[in-house]
Structure formats: C-alpha cells, structure tokens
Amino acid sequence: MNVQELNNPLLNISIFVLFVGVTLFVVIRASRNNKTASDYYAAGRSFTGPQNGAAIAGDYLSAASFLGIVGAIAVNGYDGFLYSIGFLVAWIIALLLVAELMRNTGKFTMADVLSFRLRQRPVRLAAAITTLAVTFFYLLAQMAGAGGLVALLLGINDRIGTGVVVTVVGALMIVYVLIGGMKGTTWVQIIKAVLLIAGAAVMTVWVLALHGFDLSALLDKAVQSAGTEEILAPGKQYGANPLNFVSLGLALILGTAGLPHVLMRFYTVPTAKEARRSVVWAIWLIGVFYLFTLVLGYGAVALVGSETILGSAGGVNSAAPLLALQLGGPILLGIISAVAFATILAVVAGLTITAAASFAHDIYANVVKRGDADPQMEVKVGRRTVVVIGAVAILGGIAVQGQNVAFLVALAFAIAASANLPTIVYSLFWRRFTTRGAVFSMYGGLGSALLLIVFSPVFSGAETSVFKGVDFSWFPLDNPGIVSIPLGFLLGFIGSLIPQKTAEDPALAAEMDVRSLTGHGAEKASSH
C-alpha cells in the first residue's frame, strides 16, 4: 500500500480546518460567562455527572489511547494491549479512593486538598511543582502524537516540517485555553470524546465485518500477516525483562488517581454525587473504547502489516490512521485523523489549563501573595502561564518526535503515582501525616522518578532513546514506577515520624475528615 498515492493532503487539511472552526466557535460561545476564577478554572461548577464523565473520557482518551495503544498492539501484540488494561483498571482506584473525597475537600486544584490541614506554602509549592512535571511529560506525548500524525497526512518526513506542525498545534492549544477557560475546554473534550468513540466504533465494526464478525478469524489473519504467533502471547515486548512489565503496570494502575488534570475535572460539577456519577460514566465510556483498541490493533496487523506501519512517516503512532486508509480510503483517513487531531487538541488544552491553574492559584495566589491575591489578577497570571507552558510544550514536542506516545504517557503516570498519590492517600486517610511528610513524599517521589527516567534506556543507550549515539544509562527499566512509587510512600511515612517544630492542627484534620466524607462546608457540595 503506497500511502502517499492514496493520501489526499488537501482533503485532510480541509477536514482539520472544519473541525478547528467548529470547536473555536464552541469555545468562544462558552467563554462569554467567564467572569470569575471559578468560571475560568472550574467552569462555574455547572456540568452534570454524565457531561463531566464524557469530558473526563475526552481528557483521558489521549493520543496515547488512540494512536499509541493501537500502534503498540499492532507492533507488540498482547503486550501492547496491557496499556489498555492498565489505563482502565486504574479508574477503580480513582473511584474508590479519590473522586468524591477530592471534590468535597478542594476548590480548584489538587493542592487545595493536600494543603488543607498542613502548612499552606511549602505543600502548595511542592504540589504545584509535581503538577507541572506531570503535565510536561503528558504534553510531550500529545505533541509527539501530533507531529507523527500530521507528518503522515501531509507526507512530511523532515524534522523542520514536523516542528512547524507541532508549533501550530501548540498555538491552537494556547488560543483555546486563553479564550475558553475550563468551560470551553470541557465542551471541546465532550465533542472530541463522542467523535473518538464513534469513529473507533465504526472502524471496529468494519474490521470485524471483513472477518465475518469472527474475532478468531481476525487473530488468525493477524498471525499470518505478522508471520509469528508471538503477537498473541505475552512476552514479545516485556519477555526479556518481566520487571519492566511490573513497573509499567504499577505506574498505569496507580497513576490515574494522581493525575492533576483528571483530579481537576471533579471540581467542575456542583455536588459530590455528580462527581461519583462522572467517574461511573467515564469508566463505561473508556472501557468500551479500550475494547475497540484490541480489534483495531490486530486489525492494523492483519490489513496493513507491522512493517508498513513502522516504515511510515508517523512510525508506530500511524497504525490507526493507516488502518482507516486501508478501510475507507482518503475520506475515512481524513475523518479519523481529524478526530485524532481533535483528541490531541482537547487533551493539551485540558493539561495546559491545569498547569496554569496550579501556577496561578497555588504559587502566585497562595505562596507569593499568601492567599491575598486579587481574583482578576490571578486569572491574568493564569493566562500568561498558558503562553509560557505552550512554548515549553512546543520545544519539548519537537525533541521527542518518533517516540511511542503511550510509552511517554506511562512516564507521566509514573511521576503522578510517585509524587502525588502517596500524599493524596496520606492526606485523606492518615491523621498523623505532617507537612514534612508531604514535602518528603512529593519531592522524593518526583526526584527519584525523574532521576531514574534520565538514567534509563528512555534517554540513552537504546535505538529508541531520546538521545541517539550516547549511553549514560545505568537503570535497566524503561519505567521507574517499581522503585519510585514505594519510595514516595516510604518517604511520606518517614517524614511524618520525624518531629517538627510546629505541630499540625488536629481540629483541621478533624474538619477535613468530616468535609471529605460528607461534603459539609465544601464549595456547592452535597452529602447526597
């Protein structure tokens, strides 16, 4: 299959422009009521549970879920599907541990919860830094997906052209967030979730129809195309080092409950009941989508071939678009690629507003201004932060072209599980947790995760490393979760046992218990 002969760049660009035009119209309409900090950061807490559930699905089903996982299954078979399993199972942890409790206790950001009964400034600063770190790695993944996708569609094979594409995506993201705030971003995510799940459903039914709606026939064709049965058995990617799989699994399953941009979505609903409904809706939507990825991944092997996928301009991330091209020609390719492009835009917009809120609300308003900041000025600082984050994401996205986006997102999950989850769990469930424990846990988990990533095969010493031709790696695993996550919990425990000069206020701990469980005193919260 000659991709460039079948491809129609003009059609692809037309569909892209149409989608961008529609979503910009939605964002501008939604932004008319952005008057307060609550409107900008939490959409005025005006979304229902089902709406927010669709938005969470839109936020969570990123380029990693569509481009990365389908590509991982197409190249590595069963081991690639482990990403889908890990990403889905993680929502059980999020539902049981954090959704309702975080909504009841916080206001705009994760740091509102973590600092509730501890000393505000050191905890907020640490939480903001970990939020920015997680957001940065997640943004890298989306930018890598954007570059690979549009490189495939427009036939761009050089780094300069891909860099221009990444720059355009970053600029659009900045415009979305500056104009629409959380309300506009949420509506883009809802639209994108509907389009993505519908598009994946159409392709899944199409692939199954070609094989007589017989999954066994599809798998047989995939094995025949790949020339090996390894793609149906575990171990093709992680067989040589099973610890790599354990580390990845820990990061995926525990990371979701510590992702700042997912946690921030719980503040856009009016009550704790709606927060719970949000997660239930999200689990159903996400679960159905991940079942589709199994068919799409093996369908890409059967109908396109692993060698064609790896040899294309977009590399492993081009499996889903190439499958669409094989099924429905240039028109379906253009539609599916526009949906994938929408996916990237929606997710980067959600990540950016989370990072901007964390900097403006936690660092500027509560650390620099000690809680006495003008709300209008806080929003202005947040908007300026959006521009800075966008610029950093563009530069980073250019640097990581060619990396599998699901793999990059797994690193963000490892950082979230190492730096954020231990502090969240201790804050909500352990009364003896202290400020020192929170600071130890967040900085220790973040520092260890970043250190191990830098000195792992991710950065050097392998064919797929960020830096080619050098080898300064000494940590053997691709994902640091198996070391950094237990270390984050351990440091939080040790830090809380070390005596500190200023004791925590037991009254605040009691109030947090009551508020987290009942919603009493929370912003528009309800105990129902």
pLDDT at residue 463 greater than cutoff 80: no
pLDDT score recorded for residue 139: 83
Give pLDDT tens digits for 472-487: 888 888 889 999 999 9
CB 99 within 8 A of CB 516: no
> How many Å apart are CA 73 and CA 293, to the nearest integer?
8
Start-end of H helices in 358-473: 375-399, 405-419, 421-429, 435-454
pLDDT band at 528 (very low <50, low <70, confident <90, very high): very low
> How many Å apart are CA 178 and CA 333, to the nearest integer?
30
CATH number of 20-31+47-518: 1.20.1730.10
pLDDT band at 525 (very low <50, low <70, confident <90, very high): very low
Question: Burial code of 365-388, b = ≥16 C-beta within 10 A, e = fewer?
Answer: bbbeeeeebeeeebbebbbebbee
Question: CA 217 → CA 72, 212, 309, 366, distances in Å?
Answer: 21, 8, 21, 59
pLDDT score recorded for residue 526: 36
pLDDT score recorded for residue 527: 37
CB 433 within 8 A of CB 116: no
CB 130 within 8 A of CB 417: no
pLDDT score recorded for residue 121: 85
| 266 vs 517 pLDDT, higher one | 266
> How many Å apart are CA 451 and CA 478, to the nearest integer?
12
- Residue 171 CB neighbours (<10 A): 13
pLDDT band at 339 (very low <50, low <70, confident <90, very high): confident
pLDDT score recorded for residue 487: 96
Give pLDDT tens digits for 211-228: 999 989 999 998 988 888
> How many Å apart are CA 211 and CA 441, to the nearest integer?
51
pLDDT at residue 141 greater than cutoff 80: no
Calculate what percentage of the chain has a pLDDT beyond 70. Answer: 85
pLDDT band at 288 (very low <50, low <70, confident <90, very high): very high
Report DSSP state, residue 313: T
pLDDT at residue 90 greater than cutoff 70: yes
pLDDT score recorded for residue 341: 77
> How many Å apart are CA 474 and CA 476, to the nearest integer?
6
pLDDT score recorded for residue 3: 52
pLDDT score recorded for residue 399: 76
CB 62 within 8 A of CB 346: no
pLDDT at residue 265 greater than cutoff 50: yes
pLDDT score recorded for residue 406: 64
Residue 393 sits at the vertex; the CA angle it makes with 389 and 396, to the nearest 5 degrees, is 140
> How many Å apart are CA 1 and CA 60, to the nearest integer?
32
pLDDT at residue 5 greater than cutoff 70: no
pLDDT score recorded for residue 377: 83
Residues across the chain = 528
Q: Which distant-in-sequence residues (6+ apart) come within 8 Å of 353 by Cβ?
A: 41, 177, 181, 182, 185, 261, 264, 382, 386
> How many Å apart are CA 464 and CA 2, to the nearest integer?
25
* Cα radius of gyration (the chain): 22
Q: What burial class does residue 158 get, using C-beta atoms within 10 Å of its C-beta: 0-12 exposed, 13-18 middle, 19+ buried?
A: exposed
pLDDT at residue 28 greater than cutoff 90: no
pLDDT score recorded for residue 295: 94
**Least trusted range by pLDDT, from 170-179, 287-296, 414-423:** 170-179
Q: Where in the chain are the domains? A: 20-31+47-518
